[in-house]
Amino acid sequence: MSSISLHNKQFAPYLPAAEITTAVQELGARLNADYADKQPLFVAVLNGSFMFAADLMKEMHVPCEIAFIRVASYEGTSTTGEVKEILGLREEIEGRHIVILEDIVDTGHTMRALLQTLRAKQPASLEVATLFIKPECLQHELDIRYIGLSIPNEFIVGYGLDYDGLGRNFPDVYKAF
C-alpha cells in the first residue's frame, strides 16, 4: 500500500484489505447466528456500502434477500447535515426482519433519518450493520448492534468510500493527511 492522490487531497494507507475481510467475516458469522430462522432483508445504502454489501452477502448462509436504497448527506469531506433520499425502497418491509447495511456511521444524521423512515413501515425488527463507526463523531444516540471496525475521526476512502466520487475502487482503506 502506498499513498494515493484524489482530486486535491493526499491519502495515506490506513487499513489493509485483509483486516477489512476479517471484520466482514466476523459480522457475517454473527448475522448468520442471529438470523438463522428469520430470512432477513438486507437494505444496502448506496453508493458507499456496495463493496461491503457484496462481500457480506458472500458470508451469509441463511436464506436472505437484499435491496438497495440511496441517500446522500455528504459534500466533499464533510456532512451537510441534511439527508436527501434519492432512490427509495420498493420492497414491502412490514413484518419483515430488516438489516440496514451501511459503509460508515459518523455523525449519525443519515442513519437516524433512515431508521425513523423504516420504523414507520413497521418491520418485525430493524437493525444496523456498519463496516465502520466513528464514535467520537456521533451526534445522535444510535443502537447499532453490528459494527465491523470502530475508527477515530479520520476522513477515509477506499472499499466503497469516496472523496467526491473517486477512491471507491480501492480494496484497502486510506486516510486523508
Is 162 designated active site? no
Instruction: Round to whole Å and give the CA distance between 90 and 176.
Output: 36
CA angle 124, 130, 132 (to 5 degrees): 165
For residue 108, give the 3-state DSSP assignment: coil
At 64, which amino acid appears? C
**Grid coordinates standing for 147?**
459494527
Tell me the three state secondary structure of residue 33.
Answer: helix
What cell numbers appear for 40 in the block? 432477513
Catalytic residue among 55, 106, 164, 172: 106
Type of residue at 32: N
Q: Is the peptide bond before 169 cis (omega within 30 degrees of 0)?
A: no
Give the strands of the sheet with 78-87, arranged side by side. Answer: 78-87, 65-75, 41-46, 97-105, 125-133, 146-150
What are the residue numbers of the active site? 106
